[in-house]
């Protein structure tokens, strides 16, 4: 089989497909159902990749469009389901968390990302993004925080609400990532109907925002002195970022952004920079297959270029950086999840002074588990994956 080839700025990069060479079911059946807990996965698959032999374990299944996972200090998991549920997964038990805000699950909206405060063990704060209704059929992306007390949220408050509501249920973005100074990044998509909003810094659509942990504006934000919405803006000109991760050692911020047809991108997020959407894009219009109507060029002076074009559609969602010693040969690599493409791309980075490029790209799990919504490095050093399906599942990946 001929492998597809992609090109970075300086390097030819081949995508290698993995081989699944063994499937063993190790589940324990109880009352006709497969049991799942943190130590006894309901199924395992042994997978051969270029540099690592992996074990893929199903931790739990029968999740309805799961969107994000966070890891509690005691080994339990918090998982959001887009229709508007937050679950605590504890071995064979899943418990709905009570006290959620009013969520309007429409289209791509609903209950979306979840992260713990860096000092969660002291303050019990969790942060959630969701599509907030205005009572007239419109929604805005909102960020709330609350304390997790047993199986209930208390002291819940919206600490940020996008400054324009929209009628479309698309392009919420909605990834969260903590920076090493304790500030919080949040992506918001262009909301789908009016792409040029992403070029207006006073409109939160099509941006990455930076907030203090209480939702206030950091004094050193690039447009902090503004009296309009742009004081929250860290970067703009994005279409729909659904992968976001911070390298806490270097402070470098990476994001994966949906293009239109083609043009899915890996970008290094820099404070105050404009990434061009929709006047600069690598993709085509869905309907006409022609250049996108607002596009002026593929590159433009004053527009920060992307680091990597995924080429064939990835439909990116979920992004993690491998730091654990368990994956010794993957350390420093990015794992980028794909929805429509049903795969993960492992990206090897190389830094040349201020310039970073992708020098290798391996394709993992192609078509094996379905649409990949979230990819996370867990606190135990394993990699965790959520699949975006009506009967989605939660997987753990470990070296063999």
Q: Please give the pLDDT value at position 3.
A: 35
Q: Please give the pLDDT value at position 28.
A: 28
Q: Please give the pLDDT value at position 42.
A: 62
Q: Which of 91, 205, 65, 237 is nearest to 138 (CA)?
A: 205
CB distance 378 to 400 below 8 Å: no
Report the distance separating Cα 113 and Cα 119, nearest Å. 18
Fold of 15-399: Neuraminidase (2.120.10)
Q: Are strands 355-364 and 343-352 parallel, antiparallel or unpaired?
A: antiparallel
Q: Please give the pLDDT value at position 23.
A: 36
Report the distance separating Cα 157 and Cα 143, nearest Å. 9
Report the distance separating Cα 103 and Cα 60, nearest Å. 25
Q: Are strands 343-352 and 334-338 parallel, antiparallel or unpaired?
A: antiparallel
C-alpha distances out from residue 223 to 174, 196, 266, Å: 21, 19, 24
For residue 194, the cross-strand partners are none
What DSSP designation does 98 have? B
The four Cα atoms 82, 56, 53, 362 give a dihedral, to 10 degrees, of -20
DSSP-based three-state secondary structure for 132: strand
| Catalytic residue from among 104, 117, 171, 238 | 171
Q: Which of 113, 36, 123 is nearest to 70 (CA)?
A: 113
Q: How far from each other are the two terminal CA atoms of the chain, in whole angstroms?
A: 27
For 129-149, letters b (16+ CB in 10 Å) and e give bbbbbeeeebbbbbbbbbbbe
Each residue's pLDDT, cut to its tens digit, for the chain (400 residues) gives 333 333 333 333 444 444 443 333 333 223 333 333 344 556 789 999 998 899 999 999 999 999 999 999 999 999 999 999 999 999 889 999 999 999 999 999 999 999 999 999 999 999 999 999 999 999 999 999 999 999 999 999 999 999 999 999 999 999 999 999 999 999 999 999 899 999 999 999 999 999 999 999 999 999 999 988 899 999 999 999 999 999 999 999 999 999 988 889 999 999 999 999 999 988 777 677 777 677 666 777 899 999 999 988 899 999 999 999 999 999 999 999 999 999 999 999 999 887 899 999 999 999 999 999 999 999 999 999 999 999 999 999 999 9
* Reported pTM: 0.89
Catalytic, 65? Answer no
The count of other CB atoms within 10 Å of the CB of residue 158 is 14
DSSP for 135-183 reads SSS-EEEEEEEEEEETTEEEEEEEEEE-SS-BS--------EEE-TTS-
């Amino acid at each position: 089989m001929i492998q597809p080839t992609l090109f970075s700025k300086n390097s030819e990069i081949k995508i290698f497909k993995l081989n699944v060479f063994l499937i063993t079911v190790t589940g324990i059946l109880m009352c006709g159902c497969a049991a799942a807990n943190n130590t006894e996965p309901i199924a395992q698959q042994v997978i051969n990749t270029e540099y690592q032999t992996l074990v893929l374990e199903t931790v739990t299944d029968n999740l309805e469009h799961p969107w994000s996972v966070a890891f509690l200090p005691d080994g339990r998991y918090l998982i959001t389901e887009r229709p508007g549920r937050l679950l605590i997964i504890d071995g064979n038990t899943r418990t709905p968390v009570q006290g959620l805000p009013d969520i309007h699950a429409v289209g791509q909206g609903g209950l979306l990302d979840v992260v713990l405060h860096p000092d969660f063990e002291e303050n019990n704060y969790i942060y959630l993004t969701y599509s907030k209704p205005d009572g007239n059929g419109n929604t805005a992306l909102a960020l709330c925080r609350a304390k997790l007390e047993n199986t209930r949220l208390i002291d819940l408050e919206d600490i940020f609400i996008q400054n324009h509501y929209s009628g479309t249920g698309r392009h919420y973005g909605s990834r969260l990532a903590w920076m090493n100074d304790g500030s919080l990044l949040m992506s918001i998509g262009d909301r789908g109907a009016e792409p040029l909003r992403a070029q207006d810094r006073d409109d939160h659509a099509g941006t990455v925002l930076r907030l203090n942990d209480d939702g206030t504006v950091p004094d050193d934000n690039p447009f902090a002195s503004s009296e309009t919405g742009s004081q929250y803006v860290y970067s703009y000109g994005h279409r729909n970022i659904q992968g976001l991760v911070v390298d806490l050692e270097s402070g470098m911020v990476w994001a994966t952004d949906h293009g239109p047809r083609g043009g899915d991108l890996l970008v290094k997020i820099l404070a105050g920079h404009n990434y061009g959407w929709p006047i600069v894009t690598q993709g085509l219009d869905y309907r006409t297959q022609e250049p996108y109507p607002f596009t002026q060029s593929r590159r433009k002076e004053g527009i920060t270029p992307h680091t990597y074009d995924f080429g064939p559609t990835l439909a990116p969602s979920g992004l993690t950086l491998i730091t654990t010693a368990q994956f010794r040969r993957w350390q420093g690599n990015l794992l980028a999840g794909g929805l429509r493409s049903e795969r993960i791309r492992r990206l090897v980075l190389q830094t040349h002074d201020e310039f970073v490029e992708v020098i290798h790209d391996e394709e993992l799990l192609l078509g094996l588990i379905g649409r990949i919504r979230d990819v996370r490095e867990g606190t135990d050093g394993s990699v965790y994956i959520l699949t975006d399906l009506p009967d989605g599942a939660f997987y753990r990946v470990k070296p063999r």
